[in-house]
Structure 1
Amino acid sequence: MIVERRSATRGHVEAGWLDSRHTFSFGHHYDPQWMGFGALRVINEDRVAPGAGFPPHRHANMEILSYVLSGALAHRDDAGGGGVLRPGELQWMSAGHGIEHSEYNASDSEPVHFLQIWIQPDRLNAQPAYAQRAFDPALRRGRWATLVSPDGAGDSLAIRQQASLRGVLLADGERVEATLDPARRYWLHVAQGDVGVDGRLLSAGDALGFADEGALRIEGRGNGTADVLLFDLPA
Structure 2
Amino acid sequence: MTGAVYAGSARFTTLAPGRVTRHSFSFAEHYDPANLGFGPMVCHNDDVLEPAGGYPDHPHRDLEIVTWVLEGVLVHTDDAGRALALEPGDVQVMSAGSGIRHAEVADPSSGRTRFLQTWLRPDEPGLAPSWRVEGVEPGPGLTAVVGAGALPIGTEGARLDIARLSPGEHAQLPDAPLLHAFVAVGGGRLGGLELGAGDAVRLDDESSTAFEATAAGTELLVWSFSS
TM-score relative to the length of structure 2? 0.95
Q: CA deviation at 1:92?
A: 1.1
Amino acid at match of 2:200: A
- 1:147 is matched with 145
CA distance in 2, matches of 1:20, 1:97: 26
- Aligned counterpart in structure 2 of residue 180 of structure 1, from 175, 179, 183: 175
The change in CA–CA distance for 1:173 and 1:106 in structure 2 (over 3 A counts) is: same
2:8: which partner in 1? 7
Query: How far apart in 2 are the matches of 1:101 and 1:185?
Result: 30
How far the C-alpha of 1:108 sits from its partner, in A, is 3.7
TM-score, length basis structure 1: 0.92
2:18–2:52: 8 Å Cα contact kept in structure 1?
Answer: no
* Equivalent residues of 2:73, 2:110 under 8 A apart: no
Q: Pick one of 216, 219, 225 that aligns with 2:209.
A: 216
The 1-side partners of 2:120 and 2:22 are apart by 17
Superposition deviation, residue 149 in structure 1: 0.5
Contact kept in structure 1, 2:183 and 2:200, CA below 8 Å: yes
Summarize the Cα distance change of 1:109–1:180 in structure 2 as closer, same or farther, 3 Å threshold.
Answer: closer
Q: Secondary structure at the match of 2:209?
A: strand
Tell me by how many angstroms 1:216 deviates.
1.0
Number of aligned residues: 225
Instruction: State the match for 1:53 in structure 2.
Output: 54
Q: Distance in 1 between matches of 2:184 and 2:198?
A: 6
- Using the TM superposition, give the Cα deviation of residue 82 of structure 1 relative to its aligned residue in structure 2, in angstroms: 2.6
Moved beyond 4 Å, runs of 4+: none
* Superposed CA offset, 1:132-190 (max 9, x none): 11012xxx32211110006xx1xx21100111111111100011222423xx2111111
Task: Quote the residue 1:160 is aligned against.
Answer: 154
Alpha-carbon distance between aligned partners in 2 of 1:179 and 1:20, rounded to the nearest angstrom? 28
Q: 5+ residue gaps in structure 1? A: none
Structure 2 gap ranges (5+): none
Residues 170 and 227 in structure 1, CA contact (< 8 A), matched pair in contact too: yes
The percent of aligned pairs where both chains have the same amino acid is 32
Match of 1:227 among 189, 205, 219: 219
Please tell me whether residue 85 in structure 1 is matched to residue 92 in structure 2.
no
Asked if 1:114 corresponds to 2:115, the answer is yes
* C-alpha distance in structure 2 between counterparts of 1:143 and 1:177, whole Å: 7
